[in-house]
Amino acid sequence: MPDQIGTALFKPCPHITVIMSATPKASSKVTVTTLHKFKQAGEKFTMLTAYDASFAGLIDRAGVDIILVGDSLGMVVQGHDTTIPVTVDHILYHTQCVARVVDRAMVIADMPFMSFADVPRALDNATRLMQAGGARAVKLEGGGHVIPVVEALAKHGIPVCAHLGLQPQYINKIGSYRVQGRERDAARLMLEEAHAMQNAGADMLLMECIPAGLAKQITEAVSIPTIGIGAGAACDAQVLVLYDLLGISHGRIPKFAKNYLSQTGNIEAAVKAYVAEVKSGQFPAAEHSFE
């Protein structure tokens, strides 16, 4: 939409040559429009988590398109066994650390457990993460019941990344971190929810631990970009937790993760290898995906 408005209003001076390209200059900031152009052009893009300035700067320079300040920080930084203890203040602090140094990538702040339980709370917390934190979008877990929140955020100019499939904030209800959407009814519901998120104004859709076939179906059905983690190679983009990519997370390594540090020997090369493998379609392979 902004593009159409821009095209309609912008009449280039006949003496000036305007060069347009689907791939932005290496230094120009990644925006929601950039991500939509990637999807339209069939160009894969990348997301990686970061929680501090040093890693954020490195992965920004390595060409990662989106940096997610995920509530996974509760597990990989704080040492909890779930993401439930993470608060808005925690995400705010780490978003500030990241946003201060990032030049090109889009910084997305995760909305932690209960921080978007109703519309006024969601608007207040997202405002803090954007104004004080420097985030340029927020991500939130949940299905149909979060639609009013997505709608309100989108109406106020806050880009939203919806998060379907495995939702770790529901761990106390679901009991274990397992693949979602395998049963026919669950798959149908997820497809409906994906459409509903798009209609509510979500700008992208993250899908965690779902069968690769379902992720492909959803990716083809919606016009917003999809970002997969344990969701197969057909998604428009991939995301990993940085510490899984480096092989330094404590506890069990998830099936969908790949240790790029062991194959490259240094952190910058590891992140660049991840970017290259996602863009070429080499990652994720079948061994990182679910049926």
247 CB burial (10 A radius; 0-12, 13-18, 19+)? middle
Applying CB under 6 A, the span of 21-29, 70-78, 119-127, 270-278 interacting with ligand KIV comes to: 70-78
Block residue for tokens 């989106």: 66
208 in catalytic set: yes
Please name the residues in contact with 228: beta carbons below 8 A apart, sequence gap of 6 or more. Answer: 206, 207, 208, 215, 234, 235, 237, 238, 239, 284
What is the rounded distance in angstroms from the CA atom of residue 2 to the CA atom of residue 220?
A: 23
- What binding mask, one character per residue, do residues 162-191 give for ligand KIV by CB under 6 A, x or -? ------------------------------
Q: Which is nearer to ligand KIV, 72 or 125 (CB)?
A: 72
> Taking CB under 6 A as the rule, does residue 236 contact ligand KIV?
no
- What binding mask, one character per residue, do residues 1-40 give for ligand KIV by CB under 6 A, x or -? ----------------------------------------
Alpha-carbon radius of gyration of the chain: 18
Q: Which is nearer to ligand KIV, 233 or 241 (CB)?
A: 241
What is the rounded distance in angstroms from the CA atom of residue 226 to the CA atom of residue 161?
A: 9
Nearest approach in angstroms of CB 225 to ligand KIV is: 14
Q: Which is nearer to ligand KIV, 194 or 206 (CB)?
A: 206
Single out the residue of 30, 56, 59, 68 in contact with ligand KIV (rule: CB under 6 A): 68
Applying CB under 6 A, the span of 65-73, 153-161, 175-183, 246-254 interacting with ligand KIV comes to: 65-73
Minimal CA–CA distance to 176: which of 224, 209, 199?
Answer: 209
Minimal CA–CA distance to 261: which of 280, 276, 274?
Answer: 274
> Taking CB under 6 A as the rule, does residue 275 contact ligand KIV?
no
Minimal CA–CA distance to 205: which of 178, 223, 179, 187?
Answer: 223
- What binding mask, one character per residue, do residues 203-222 give for ligand KIV by CB under 6 A, x or -? ---x-x--------------
* φ, ψ for residue 193, nearest 5 deg: -65, -35
Q: Which is nearer to ligand KIV, 24 or 35 (CB)?
A: 35
With CB atoms as reference, the residue minimizing the distance to ligand KIV is 70
What is the rounded distance in angstroms from the CA atom of residue 51 to the CA atom of residue 70?
A: 8
- In the set 141, 151, 193, 208, the catalytic residue is 208
Nearest approach in angstroms of CB 51 to ligand KIV is: 9
* CA 284 vs CA 20, 105, 235: distances in Å: 31, 21, 10
Nearest approach in angstroms of CB 50 to ligand KIV is: 10
> Taking CB under 6 A as the rule, does residue 112 contact ligand KIV?
no
The β-bridge partners of 234 are none
What is the rounded distance in angstroms from the CA atom of residue 65 to the CA atom of residue 203?
A: 15
> What is the size of the binding site for ligand KIV (CB under 6 A)?
11
Residues in the site for ligand KIV, rule: CB under 6 A?
A: 49, 68, 70-72, 110, 206, 208, 229, 239, 241
What positions carry a catalytic annotation?
Answer: 208
